[in-house]
Amino acid sequence: MKVSILQFPGTNCEYDTQHAFEALGAKTEIVWHKSESIPEDTNLLVVAGGFSYGDYLRSGAIAKFSPVMKAVIEYANNGGKVLGICNGFQVLTEARLLPGALKRNEHLHFISKHHNLKVVNNDNIFLEKLSKDEIINIPIAHHDGNYYIDQDGLKDLYANNQVLLTYSDKDGNVLNPNGSVDSIAGICNKEKNVFGLMPHPERAMEALLGSDDGVKMLQGFLSA
Protein backbone atom coordinates (compact mmCIF):
# COMPACT_ATOMS: atom_id res chain seq x y z
CA MET A 1 0.00 0.00 0.00
CA LYS A 2 1.49 3.34 -1.10
CA VAL A 3 0.17 6.62 0.31
CA SER A 4 1.28 9.87 -1.33
CA ILE A 5 0.82 13.01 0.76
CA LEU A 6 0.65 16.50 -0.74
CA GLN A 7 2.69 19.31 0.76
CA PHE A 8 1.92 22.98 0.11
CA PRO A 9 3.62 26.06 1.61
CA GLY A 10 1.91 26.27 5.02
CA THR A 11 0.92 22.60 5.28
CA ASN A 12 1.58 21.43 8.85
CA CYS A 13 0.08 17.94 9.07
CA GLU A 14 1.95 16.09 6.35
CA TYR A 15 4.37 14.44 8.76
CA ASP A 16 1.62 13.54 11.23
CA THR A 17 -0.21 11.93 8.32
CA GLN A 18 2.94 10.14 7.19
CA HIS A 19 3.52 8.82 10.72
CA ALA A 20 -0.09 7.61 10.99
CA PHE A 21 -0.07 5.62 7.75
CA GLU A 22 3.41 4.19 8.33
CA ALA A 23 2.27 3.02 11.77
CA LEU A 24 -0.43 1.06 9.92
CA GLY A 25 2.18 -0.53 7.64
CA ALA A 26 1.82 1.65 4.53
CA LYS A 27 4.65 3.07 2.47
CA THR A 28 4.49 6.86 2.12
CA GLU A 29 5.90 9.67 0.03
CA ILE A 30 5.63 13.43 0.50
CA VAL A 31 4.79 15.17 -2.80
CA TRP A 32 5.74 18.85 -3.14
CA HIS A 33 3.06 21.09 -4.64
CA LYS A 34 5.21 22.03 -7.65
CA SER A 35 5.30 18.43 -8.85
CA GLU A 36 3.32 17.98 -12.04
CA SER A 37 2.55 14.32 -11.43
CA ILE A 38 1.45 11.87 -8.76
CA PRO A 39 3.75 8.86 -8.09
CA GLU A 40 2.59 6.04 -10.37
CA ASP A 41 2.41 3.49 -7.55
CA THR A 42 0.05 5.63 -5.45
CA ASN A 43 -2.90 3.74 -3.92
CA LEU A 44 -4.15 6.68 -1.86
CA LEU A 45 -3.49 10.39 -2.24
CA VAL A 46 -3.87 12.51 0.89
CA VAL A 47 -4.26 16.28 0.88
CA ALA A 48 -3.01 16.99 4.37
CA GLY A 49 -4.13 19.61 6.86
CA GLY A 50 -2.55 22.94 7.69
CA PHE A 51 -2.80 26.43 6.31
CA SER A 52 -1.80 26.24 2.65
CA TYR A 53 -0.50 29.63 1.54
CA GLY A 54 -1.35 30.97 4.99
CA ASP A 55 -5.08 30.72 4.21
CA TYR A 56 -4.74 34.01 2.34
CA LEU A 57 -7.64 34.98 0.08
CA ARG A 58 -9.73 31.98 1.23
CA SER A 59 -8.74 28.62 2.68
CA GLY A 60 -7.61 26.34 -0.16
CA ALA A 61 -8.34 28.94 -2.84
CA ILE A 62 -4.69 29.52 -3.79
CA ALA A 63 -3.63 25.88 -3.38
CA LYS A 64 -6.04 24.80 -6.10
CA PHE A 65 -3.83 26.64 -8.61
CA SER A 66 -0.65 24.76 -7.62
CA PRO A 67 0.91 22.71 -10.46
CA VAL A 68 0.19 19.39 -8.71
CA MET A 69 -3.56 19.99 -8.64
CA LYS A 70 -4.00 19.23 -12.34
CA ALA A 71 -2.57 15.77 -11.65
CA VAL A 72 -4.72 15.42 -8.52
CA ILE A 73 -7.89 16.16 -10.50
CA GLU A 74 -6.89 13.71 -13.22
CA TYR A 75 -6.03 11.05 -10.62
CA ALA A 76 -9.40 11.48 -8.89
CA ASN A 77 -11.37 11.53 -12.14
CA ASN A 78 -9.73 8.25 -13.12
CA GLY A 79 -10.98 6.61 -9.92
CA GLY A 80 -7.97 7.15 -7.70
CA LYS A 81 -8.67 7.37 -3.98
CA VAL A 82 -8.23 10.84 -2.46
CA LEU A 83 -8.56 11.90 1.19
CA GLY A 84 -8.64 15.57 2.17
CA ILE A 85 -8.18 16.36 5.87
CA CYS A 86 -9.09 19.80 7.25
CA ASN A 87 -7.30 22.22 4.88
CA GLY A 88 -7.20 19.31 2.45
CA PHE A 89 -11.00 19.20 2.56
CA GLN A 90 -11.04 22.92 1.83
CA VAL A 91 -8.68 22.42 -1.14
CA LEU A 92 -10.86 19.63 -2.56
CA THR A 93 -14.00 21.79 -2.42
CA GLU A 94 -12.15 24.70 -4.02
CA ALA A 95 -10.98 22.35 -6.80
CA ARG A 96 -14.60 21.15 -7.20
CA LEU A 97 -13.67 17.55 -6.48
CA LEU A 98 -16.17 17.73 -3.61
CA PRO A 99 -19.40 19.75 -3.47
CA GLY A 100 -20.03 22.66 -1.11
CA ALA A 101 -17.66 25.10 0.56
CA LEU A 102 -16.03 25.77 3.92
CA LYS A 103 -16.72 29.12 5.58
CA ARG A 104 -15.53 30.84 8.74
CA ASN A 105 -16.74 29.18 11.92
CA GLU A 106 -20.08 30.60 13.02
CA HIS A 107 -18.61 32.30 16.11
CA LEU A 108 -15.47 33.43 14.16
CA HIS A 109 -13.07 31.74 16.60
CA PHE A 110 -10.44 29.08 15.93
CA ILE A 111 -11.42 25.72 17.48
CA SER A 112 -8.88 23.18 18.74
CA LYS A 113 -10.20 20.27 20.82
CA HIS A 114 -11.38 16.68 20.71
CA HIS A 115 -14.93 16.35 19.46
CA ASN A 116 -17.34 13.46 19.01
CA LEU A 117 -18.51 12.42 15.56
CA LYS A 118 -21.38 10.20 14.49
CA VAL A 119 -20.91 7.81 11.56
CA VAL A 120 -23.78 8.49 9.14
CA ASN A 121 -22.71 6.20 6.29
CA ASN A 122 -20.12 3.41 6.25
CA ASP A 123 -20.84 2.06 2.76
CA ASN A 124 -17.46 3.30 1.55
CA ILE A 125 -13.84 2.27 1.85
CA PHE A 126 -13.00 5.07 4.28
CA LEU A 127 -15.43 4.15 7.05
CA GLU A 128 -16.14 0.49 6.31
CA LYS A 129 -14.41 -0.63 9.51
CA LEU A 130 -16.75 1.51 11.60
CA SER A 131 -20.43 0.86 12.29
CA LYS A 132 -23.30 3.08 11.20
CA ASP A 133 -24.26 5.41 14.09
CA GLU A 134 -21.01 4.63 15.90
CA ILE A 135 -19.65 7.54 17.96
CA ILE A 136 -15.94 8.30 17.68
CA ASN A 137 -13.72 10.94 19.27
CA ILE A 138 -11.46 12.83 16.84
CA PRO A 139 -9.57 16.14 17.26
CA ILE A 140 -10.69 19.23 15.35
CA ALA A 141 -8.52 22.29 14.71
CA HIS A 142 -9.93 24.87 12.31
CA HIS A 143 -11.04 28.43 11.77
CA ASP A 144 -12.89 27.81 8.50
CA GLY A 145 -14.70 24.55 9.21
CA ASN A 146 -18.28 25.72 8.69
CA TYR A 147 -19.46 23.45 5.86
CA TYR A 148 -22.03 25.03 3.56
CA ILE A 149 -24.11 23.68 0.69
CA ASP A 150 -27.46 24.88 -0.64
CA GLN A 151 -30.66 22.92 -0.02
CA ASP A 152 -30.68 21.22 -3.45
CA GLY A 153 -27.08 20.16 -2.96
CA LEU A 154 -27.85 18.90 0.53
CA LYS A 155 -30.69 16.76 -0.80
CA ASP A 156 -28.31 15.26 -3.36
CA LEU A 157 -25.76 14.47 -0.65
CA TYR A 158 -28.29 12.48 1.33
CA ALA A 159 -29.82 10.85 -1.74
CA ASN A 160 -26.39 9.52 -2.75
CA ASN A 161 -25.19 8.60 0.77
CA GLN A 162 -22.44 11.22 0.56
CA VAL A 163 -22.79 12.53 4.11
CA LEU A 164 -20.28 10.47 6.10
CA LEU A 165 -19.87 12.11 9.50
CA THR A 166 -21.70 14.63 11.66
CA TYR A 167 -20.64 16.45 14.82
CA SER A 168 -22.32 15.07 17.93
CA ASP A 169 -22.07 14.62 21.67
CA LYS A 170 -21.03 11.31 23.26
CA ASP A 171 -24.60 10.02 22.93
CA GLY A 172 -24.98 10.84 19.24
CA ASN A 173 -27.06 13.97 19.68
CA VAL A 174 -26.26 16.94 17.48
CA LEU A 175 -23.52 19.14 18.94
CA ASN A 176 -22.38 21.54 16.23
CA PRO A 177 -19.10 23.38 17.01
CA ASN A 178 -18.84 25.57 13.92
CA GLY A 179 -22.25 26.11 12.29
CA SER A 180 -21.91 23.50 9.53
CA VAL A 181 -25.11 22.75 7.60
CA ASP A 182 -26.79 19.74 9.24
CA SER A 183 -23.75 19.51 11.53
CA ILE A 184 -21.79 17.88 8.66
CA ALA A 185 -18.16 17.01 9.44
CA GLY A 186 -17.27 14.89 6.39
CA ILE A 187 -18.53 13.95 2.93
CA CYS A 188 -17.52 12.05 -0.20
CA ASN A 189 -18.20 12.39 -3.92
CA LYS A 190 -20.90 10.38 -5.69
CA GLU A 191 -18.36 7.84 -6.90
CA LYS A 192 -17.09 7.34 -3.34
CA ASN A 193 -13.42 7.65 -4.18
CA VAL A 194 -12.87 11.25 -2.97
CA PHE A 195 -13.34 11.94 0.74
CA GLY A 196 -13.12 15.10 2.81
CA LEU A 197 -13.48 15.82 6.52
CA MET A 198 -12.55 18.64 8.87
CA PRO A 199 -11.54 16.48 11.89
CA HIS A 200 -8.01 15.01 12.06
CA PRO A 201 -7.95 11.18 12.21
CA GLU A 202 -4.15 11.24 11.91
CA ARG A 203 -4.07 12.87 15.35
CA ALA A 204 -6.17 10.10 16.90
CA MET A 205 -3.87 7.12 16.49
CA GLU A 206 -2.80 6.50 20.11
CA ALA A 207 -4.99 6.26 23.21
CA LEU A 208 -2.16 7.84 25.20
CA LEU A 209 -2.76 11.07 23.25
CA GLY A 210 -6.49 11.12 23.89
CA SER A 211 -7.98 8.77 21.28
CA ASP A 212 -7.09 5.99 18.88
CA ASP A 213 -10.39 6.16 16.98
CA GLY A 214 -8.54 7.37 13.90
CA VAL A 215 -6.97 3.94 13.45
CA LYS A 216 -10.14 2.28 12.14
CA MET A 217 -10.84 5.24 9.89
CA LEU A 218 -7.51 5.08 8.10
CA GLN A 219 -7.35 1.27 8.12
CA GLY A 220 -10.26 1.19 5.68
CA PHE A 221 -7.97 2.40 2.92
CA LEU A 222 -5.43 -0.33 3.65
CA SER A 223 -7.95 -3.13 3.21
CA ALA A 224 -8.55 -2.35 -0.47
The catalytic site residues sit at 86, 200, 202
| Distance between CA atoms of residues 21 and 219, nearest Å | 8
> Within 24-178, where are the H helices?
68-77, 87-94, 151-159
Give 181-186 contacts, CB < 8 A, sequence gap 24+. Answer: 181/100, 181/147, 181/148, 181/149, 181/154, 182/154, 184/147, 184/157, 185/117, 185/147, 186/89, 186/117
User: Of how many residues is the chain composed?
Assistant: 224
| Distance between CA atoms of residues 47 and 76, nearest Å | 12
